[in-house]
Structures are given as structure tokens and as C-alpha cells.
Structure 1
Amino acid sequence: MASIGFGSKGIAGRTLQWLEHRLGLIQPLAQAATHPTPANNASWLYVFGSAATVLLILQVMTGILLGLVYSPSANEAWGSLQLLNHYAPLGWYLRALHGWGSNFMVAVVIIHLVQVFLFGAYKFPRELTWMVGVLLLLLTLGMAFTGQVLRFDQDAYWGLGIGASIVSRVPLVGAPLVHLLLGGPILGAATLSRFFALHVFVIPGLLLAGVGVHVWMVLRHGVSDWPMPGRIVTKATYEREYHELTDKTGIPFVPDAAWKDAVFAMAILFAVMACAFFFGPFGPGGPPDPTIIQTAPKPDAAFLWIFSVLSLLPPSLETPVILIAPVLIIAAMLLLPVFAAEGERHWARRPVAVLTLAIVAISLGIFTHLGTYTPWSPVMDAWASDPVPVKYLRNRTPLQCQGALVLQYKQCRNCHALDGAGGMRGPALDTVASRMTEDQMIRQVLQGGGNMPAYGNALSPAETKALVSFLVTLRNNYQAPAIDASRSLGTMVAGSSRPQQEQSGRLP
């Protein structure tokens, strides 16, 4: 029994000694794992970097398994995901793990970056560590976006078209970049292969390399100590003070500090598994169809704020904001430690940093929330089976009641709310008669406009007449019906001239 033990004289011990003699990796890895770290940073607020690394490993493992079934072909991609969702044993759960793992990874990386910013851990000598972290965040977002494209459903198809339109606006190199991404000037057979290569090979390779560099720099410079008010970072003294602190209060990272990282990482993994089990995978939605142009593609949660900002921008500002704002934001994040390498680290002594973080967080939250329900994100839950509320049918003529039936059967409430129920892509109809005249309603129904498609070919003249007859009754009792200002002005002018004409005797 002793011959197969784990001691230095057992088979396992001799095998480890043989490998160590030839590779020389075990001892450096052990030294790295047990490197001393200040006792004051063995905190639950320092666990997000390790959790992000564990989630990256999960993404790589589940991605490899998905790659065994997924077919990066425009004709077969959607079908291969249906195979995983409905026929492959636990294929749906594998897809769900990968999808929810992506969302959790984006969230954890962002939280980790926020924690580093709030703790001033980007200051000397960790400037390059911060810069690599910013690039890792961009790569993580790139993984999330290319993963959505690989679903290749209706949302992915049109979302990719929007992304290509944004890239095409880059001066001088816009068209070559579009050709590089799409494999041609438009979405074609080569497009999905390009994004498959990005998602499976290019971005993961850069991520793994970046994580390696990031971890190496953390080991080289140490984990930043807990920020204390009044402890100023200066290039002349910080490293000496840090090593003195480590020598005085240092504890080995493994196991004294790492157990919190391990517990938090396991909790995150269980959360991903639970979300995958209870909520299932993301999509795919309907198969991509370029002939369906009246659609409202919506990105995944990480990009909803961009979706909202672009939807709210006036057309004249789209190109300047798209081309300038991202460059300025990324440049500011990368250059932050260059201009703020020294000084206070504690958040209580850095009110500008705290205020900036609060403004950014609130703005992202508001725009993300807007992206879930605003007019460009229709709530398609008001089907023809939902009856028109009774209060809108009282004291109506037969023609107006027929219009209410048209409203219901033509599923107008997919996009328009009535009495608080229905879609939110278009404006609510409760007071539409106080905003639009009868002629304006007819023109809007037949010709469309804004987000609304034209229904001139979908409604007969009788249905249009009945529908508008019902709509003109929808206003509050205290609101006057809408009027045509131009006609009112003409009537006033004609009325004011009549007495003069009568006095001059020109009227009979």
C-alpha cells in the first residue's frame, strides 16, 4: 500500500518529482499560490477577479461542448440550435449554462472594474494592470456580442445589420472593416463563419492571454492593500510601504485569503446553474428572414443601454456620437492611471470619483430600463383574444362598435395600449382623439409613419372607416377633440371678412 501513496517515495510522489525536474512548473505555481498578501485585503470585496476567471473557464468548457454540435453555416446554424434545445440530451441546459455564464461574466467583470476604480487600485504601480483590465472588459463585451450573433435568429440578423451600419460610418476604413467582419459588403454566407472564428478562436485567445498577463502583474506587484484615509500613494515611497505592510501583516493567499474567493466563485457557479435550470437558454427566436423589415431587434441585456441611446439620438447626432463618444470613453478609462497615478485612494477622499461613478451607474441603469419597454421595444402580449374594455363600448353607435372589433381582430393592441393593457411600441390610444383629427388618423392608418407601418393594403375601406369612427371617440370627457389648426385659421379669416363684405353690399 505504501508503494502507491502520495509521499515522496510513492508512485505519485516520484511522478511529481519527475515532472518538476523536467518542467519546473510545480514549485513556481505553489509559490505563486502562497504568495504573501496584506491581511487587510482578505475581504469579500476582493473576490470578483477570481470569480471572473472561474466564469471564463466555464465559458471555455461549455463553448467547446457546444462547438461539437453547432454548425457555423447560415443555412444550418438556426437548425443546430433547435437540435440542441429539443433533441440533444441536456443540450438546452448546456446552452443555458453558456448564455447565463456570459451574462454573469459581463456583470462580474464590470463590478470588479468598479471596485478597482473605487478603491483607487489603478494607481502606481498598477497602472498597466488597470489598462489590461479595461481591455479585458472590452473583450468580454465582444464575446457577448459575437455570441448573440451566433444564435442567428431574427434579432441577431438585424442586430448585426445595425452593428455593420455603425462600423461603416468610420471615416476612411469603414467599408474595409465591414468587408472584414461580414466577408463582403452585405450579410452573406461568409458572415457567420467570420463571427464563429471571432467568438471561438480570436477573442477567447486574446482573453486567455490578457488574463495571464493580468494575473502575472497582480503577482508581481501584489494585491492592492485596503485603502485607508490619509494614506497617500507616492511613487517614491509606496512600494517600500507596501512591502513593509506585507512583511508585518502578510498572510499566504492560499489558503488564508483564497477561501473567500473560492466560496464566492462557487456561489456564482451555483447561481449560473440555477438560472440556467429555471430560465433556460436564450433563443433562438424566429429564423432570420431579410424580407421581414417591420421588426424590432433587441440586443442582450449588456447592450440594452446602447440600444436605448441610439434610439433616442436625433438623426443628425448619430454619426458624431457613435464615432466620438466610444473613443473618448475608452481613452479616458485607459489614460486614467496616467493622470491619476498618485494621491488618495480612499473613496471618502475622492468625491469626484464617487460622483462620476454614481452618474455613470444611474445613467446605465436608466437607459437599460428604457430599452426593455420603450416604443422601440414592443411588448407583444396583447393578442386578439383580449377584449376591448367595456367602458369604451358604452353609448357607441353600431359603426363604432364595429371599429372596436376591427381594433381587436387586427391585433392593433400588439403595439398600442388601451386602458393600460397592450403593447408599448406605439402611443396609447386612450386619448388619441385629443391628439389627432379624423383625417390624420385615416392618413396614419393607411400610410403609416414613424414606427408604424402602412396598413392601406391590410384594411378594406369599410374597416378603415369603422376603425377611425371608434378611435375618434377615445378621449377624456374634459378634453376637447383635436382640430385642424389650418382649417380653423381659414374659418376665422373667412368669418372676419364676412361683415365687411356684407357692409359693402357685395353679398346677396
Structure 2
Amino acid sequence: MASLKQRGIDVYNWFERRLGVFTPAIEAAEHPVPSNTSSWWYVFGSAATIILVLQVVTGVLLALVYAPTASQAWGSLEFLDHNVKLGWFLRAMHGWGSDFMIAIVLIHLAQVFLFGAYKFPRELTWIIGVFLLLLTLGMAFTGQVLRFDQDAYWGLGIGASIVSRVPVIGGPLVGLMLGGPIIAGPTLSRFFTLHVFVIPGILLGLVALHLLMVIRLGINDWPMPGRLVSKKTYVQEYHQLTEKTGIPFVPDAAWKDAVFGAAIMLAIMACALWFGPFGPTGQPDPTIIETAPKPDFAFLWIYAVLAYLPPSIETPVLFIAPVIGIGVMLLLPLVSGEGEKHWSRRPVAVLMVAVIAVTLGAFTRLGMYTPWSPIMNAWTSDTIPTQYLHDRTPLERQGALVLQNKQCRNCHSIGGAGGMRGPALDSVASRLTEDQMIRQVLQGGGNMPAYGNALNPSETTALVQFLKTLRGGDLTPAVDASRKMAMTSEQTPPATPNQPAPEGK
């Protein structure tokens, strides 16, 4: 047993003399940190790193099957979901890992800001952290595009239209992003390269630099009211605190990071099992223009902001607000690198975090509702007014029940009762023909979703027959003008040289 142990030590020493990586790694893991940093508030950075490892591993496995071509991308995801054992779970882990990573990085950034950890000597650590957040968001956006479903296709189209508004260089930027004048195979190849090689490479490099600086400069000590940061004395005070109360990061401080990281991994697995992967939705189809692409969870707040912005100020807000926000974050440690760190002495900082959190939460919540499915205040249990049921056939009355049971009155009103999101139905038959009603019900359009999968043919027939009776009193039913012209042409005899055409024809 002793000889076996000695052989192991000899092997270790043989590699260490040639590589020289084990000793620095052990020293980094056991480096002393102030005991007051062994707190649950200091676990978010480690959790983000753990999720990053998860994303790299699952991303590599997905890349083995995924085909980054316009003709095969959607099909390869369907193949993963239905033909590869646990392929759907792998996709779900990768998708939910992305959302969790964004949330953890945001929380970590807010915690660093509230704890004043961006101040001297950790200014560059904060700046690198800001770029890590932007790269994480870039990974999420490019990942959504790689699904190359209907949402991704039209969402990218919206993104391209936004980029095109950049003064002077908007057109070339769109060409660079799409790889041509339209969204096609070159577009997907570029986003695949960004998602798999470019952004992860930069991200991993900055993470390594970020961790190196954390080890070299030390973990920010727990902020105490009245303990000010001074460039002249802080480093000496920090070393004195570490010598007096220091504990090795591994295992004394790291066990909380490990527990929290494990909890986050279990949460990602639970979401993957319960909710499954994101998409893909329908295949990308450029001919289907009446669609409402919705971004992934991390970008829902932008979706809502754009929906509420007046068109006149949309472009300035899109290009000025982000530049100002990122600029402020990058300049923050350079402008406010000294002074008080405790949040109780920095009420403006606390107010800023609270306002930003509430704003993002509110707009994200609003972004979860498409224009046709808001929070309703119309009672679908209200019965159809009796005046709309008099002198109706059994089929038409059945249509009234369909209208009621399918909750159409959440959006549409009849007799002044019901939702206001869609047009009132009291005179719908004077505006739409029977064919137009059928098409609108089955395929949707405008702010109305398609109900083709929610209604069987008999229900559709009954509903349209009831809607045909709603003509607002004595209004004339809607008529297809093109069909009327065709019928008139068929009934009119052709004119001959000896017989003029009938008058008015």
C-alpha cells in the first residue's frame, strides 16, 4: 500500500516538474480570503462559472448533430427532439442553462454594485464583468437564431431592420450580419460561427482573466458602514484583514459556492424535465408575413419596450439609450473608485438597482403577452344576449355556444359586453363575407391568432353561420366584389360587330 502511494507521488512529481500547473492551481484554490466573505451573497460568480461549463459541454454535444444550413437546421433539431435518445433533454438543458446564466450574471453584477466591489483596486474586474454580461446576452441571441424556426426567422428580420437604421453604415452592417441581401444559408453559417467559436472564445478568455484578477486582487471584503476605500491605504488594510481573519477559499469558503452551484444545476435540470426545450416552432417561411415573433425570455423586456414606444422616438431610444447605459457602467469605477461601499450609505445606488429591477420585471411581464392575449377583464361565462338568439336555426345557436365556449368574448364584444381587444361582432357580417370569416377564424390575421387547431370543422361551420347573422340590424351583408364581377361577366353575352353590348355592361 505504501509503495503504491509512493508510486502515485512519483507520477505526480514527474508531471509537475514538466508542466508546473498543479502547484499554482492548488495555491489558487487555497488562497486566503477574509472570513467575512464566506457568505451566501458571494456565491453568484461561482454559479455563473459552473453554468458556463454546462453550456460548453452541452453545446459541444449539440454541435455533433446540429446542421448549420438553411435547409437542414430545423430538421436537425426535430431529429434531436424525437430520434436521438435524450436529445430533447440535452437541448432543454442548454436552453434553460442560457436563461439561468443571464439571470445569475445580472444578480452577480447587481450584488457587486451594491457591495461597492467595483471600487479600487477592482475597477478592471468590474469592466471585464460588464463585457461578460454583453457576451452572455450575445450568446443567448445567436442561440435563438440557430433554432431557425418561424420566430427566429422573423425575429432576425426585425433585428436586421433595426440595424439598418444606424446612420451611414446601416446598410453595410445588415449585409455583414446576414451575409447577403436576405436571410438564408450564409446568415445561419455566420451566426453558427459566432455562437460556437467567436463569442465563446472571447467569453472563456475574459472569464479566465476575470478569475485571475479575483485571485490576484482578492475577494471584496464585506462592506462595513464608515469603512471608506482609499487608494493610499486600502491594499494595506485588506492584507491586514486577510492576515487577521483569513481562511482558505477551499474548502472553508467554497462549500457554499458548491452547494449553491449544485442547487442551480438541479433547478436547470428540473426546468428541462418539466418544461422541455425551446422550440423549434414552425419552419421558417418567408411567405407567412402575418406573424408575431417573440424573443426568448431574456429579451422580452426589449420586445415590450419597442411595442410601447411611439414610432417617432423609437430609433433614438434604440441607439442612444444602450450606448449611454453601457458607457455609464464602464465609467462607473473610474469616476467613483473611492469612498463608501456599504449600501446603507449609498441610497442612490440602492434606488437605481430597485428601479432597474422593477422596470425590467414589469416590461418582461408585459412582453409575455402578445397583443391578442392580454390580461382579460371580460367574463367568458356571460351568456350571449338573448336578442342575438331569436329566430336562429339550431346550427346558428350551436355557433353561439361555440363563440361562448371558445372564449371569443375575451377579445370581442357583443351588445356592448365583452373584451375590447378586437372589433365588436355586432355587425361583423356586414364587414366580412363567409369566406373571409372562415379564413380569419382558421388562419388568424392582424392581432388575432389562428384557431385552426382549436376548432373542428363542425364547430367552425356553426360559428361562421352564427356570425353571418350579426349584421347590426338591417345592414346589408358583405359581398365579395370580385366574385360578383366574375358572375356578372359570365351572365353577360359577348358583344358582336352587329349587336352592341347591353347598356350598363
Please classify the TM superposition score into its range, dividing by the shorter chain length: 0.7 to 0.9
TM-superposed deviation, 1:67: 0.5
TM-superposed deviation, 1:180: 1.5
Structure 1 position 83 matched with structure 2 position 72: no
TM-superposed deviation, 1:451: 3.8
136 and 400 in structure 1: CA distance in 2 versus 1, 3 angstrom threshold: farther
Q: Which amino acid aligns with 1:92?
A: W
Deviations 1:255-311 (A, max 9, x none): 110111111111111111111112211111111111111111111110000000011
Partner of 1:331: 327
Q: Which amino acid aligns with 2:349?
A: A
Partner of 1:430: 418
Partner of 1:248: 244
Partner of 1:506: none
Structure 1 position 239 matched with structure 2 position 235: yes
| Cα separation, 2, equivalents of 1:338 and 1:404 | 72
- The structure 1 residue matched to 2:349, chosen from 339, 353, 372, is 353
Structure 1 position 197 matched with structure 2 position 211: no
Q: Which moved more, 1:320-329 or 1:442-451?
A: 442-451
| Cα separation, 2, equivalents of 1:150 and 1:434 | 34
Partner of 1:392: 384
For 2:418, what is the secondary structure of its paired residue? coil
Q: Map 1:361-376; keep pairs closer than 5 Å.
A: 361-375=357-371
- The structure 2 residue matched to 1:266, chosen from 254, 262, 267, is 262
For 2:247, what is the secondary structure of its paired residue? strand
Partner of 1:169: 165
| Cα separation, 2, equivalents of 1:261 and 1:63 | 24
Partner of 1:13: 9
Q: Which moved more, 1:333-342 or 1:132-141?
A: 333-342
Query: Percent same amino acid among aligned pairs?
Result: 59
- The structure 2 residue matched to 1:277, chosen from 251, 273, 279, is 273
Partner of 1:490: none
- The structure 1 residue matched to 2:118, chosen from 113, 118, 122, is 122
Q: Map 1:31-430; keep pairs closer than 5 Å.
A: 31-375=27-371, 391-396=383-388, 397-398=390-391, 417-418=408-409, 420=410, 430=418
Contact 2:223 2:342 survives alignment (8 Å): yes
TM-superposed deviation, 1:394: 2.1
| Cα separation, 2, equivalents of 1:153 and 1:306 | 20
Contact 1:413 1:423 survives alignment (8 Å): no
For 2:386, what is the secondary structure of its paired residue? coil
309 and 35 in structure 1: CA distance in 2 versus 1, 3 angstrom threshold: same
Contact 1:433 1:471 survives alignment (8 Å): no
| Cα separation, 1, equivalents of 2:330 and 2:79 | 43
| Cα separation, 1, equivalents of 2:163 and 2:299 | 16
For 1:124, what is the secondary structure of its paired residue? coil
Deviations 1:56-92 (A, max 9, x none): 0000001000000000011001111111101101111
Contact 1:78 1:284 survives alignment (8 Å): yes
| Cα separation, 1, equivalents of 2:383 and 2:290 | 32
Q: Which amino acid aligns with 1:293?
A: I
| Cα separation, 2, equivalents of 1:413 and 1:171 | 51
RMSD between aligned alpha carbons? 3.4
Contact 2:372 2:448 survives alignment (8 Å): no
Q: Which moved more, 1:436-445 or 1:241-250?
A: 436-445
TM-superposed deviation, 1:405: 6.4
Contact 1:378 1:423 survives alignment (8 Å): no
| Cα separation, 2, equivalents of 1:423 and 1:62 | 46
434 and 25 in structure 1: CA distance in 2 versus 1, 3 angstrom threshold: closer
For 2:14, what is the secondary structure of its paired residue? helix
| Cα separation, 2, equivalents of 1:433 and 1:285 | 25
| Cα separation, 2, equivalents of 1:124 and 1:18 | 41
Partner of 1:467: 467
TM-superposed deviation, 1:401: 9.1
TM-superposed deviation, 1:404: 7.5
Contact 1:371 1:377 survives alignment (8 Å): no
For 1:251, what is the secondary structure of its paired residue? strand
| Cα separation, 1, equivalents of 2:71 and 2:423 | 47
Contact 1:36 1:252 survives alignment (8 Å): yes
Deviations 1:401-422 (A, max 9, x none): 987866887x8998x851x4x7
5+ residue gaps, structure 1: 380-387, 456-462, 474-508
124 and 404 in structure 1: CA distance in 2 versus 1, 3 angstrom threshold: farther
Contact 2:178 2:186 survives alignment (8 Å): yes
Partner of 2:489: none
Q: Which amino acid aligns with 1:135?
A: F
| Cα separation, 2, equivalents of 1:102 and 1:276 | 12
| Cα separation, 2, equivalents of 1:157 and 1:272 | 27
Contact 1:122 1:129 survives alignment (8 Å): yes
For 1:392, what is the secondary structure of its paired residue? coil
Partner of 1:25: 21
109 and 313 in structure 1: CA distance in 2 versus 1, 3 angstrom threshold: same
| Cα separation, 2, equivalents of 1:442 and 1:37 | 77
| Cα separation, 2, equivalents of 1:261 and 1:14 | 33
406 and 260 in structure 1: CA distance in 2 versus 1, 3 angstrom threshold: same
Deviations 1:335-392 (A, max 9, x none): 111111111111110000111111110000100000112416679xxxxxxxx85611
| Cα separation, 1, equivalents of 2:66 and 2:446 | 35
For 2:266, what is the secondary structure of its paired residue? helix
Contact 2:92 2:278 survives alignment (8 Å): yes
For 1:395, what is the secondary structure of its paired residue? helix
| Cα separation, 1, equivalents of 2:122 and 2:471 | 64
Q: Which amino acid aligns with 2:345?
A: R
| Cα separation, 2, equivalents of 1:336 and 1:450 | 47
Contact 2:32 2:248 survives alignment (8 Å): yes
Q: TM-score, normalised by structure 1?
A: 0.81
TM-superposed deviation, 1:467: 3.2
Q: Which amino acid aligns with 2:386?
A: R
| Cα separation, 2, equivalents of 1:115 and 1:76 | 43
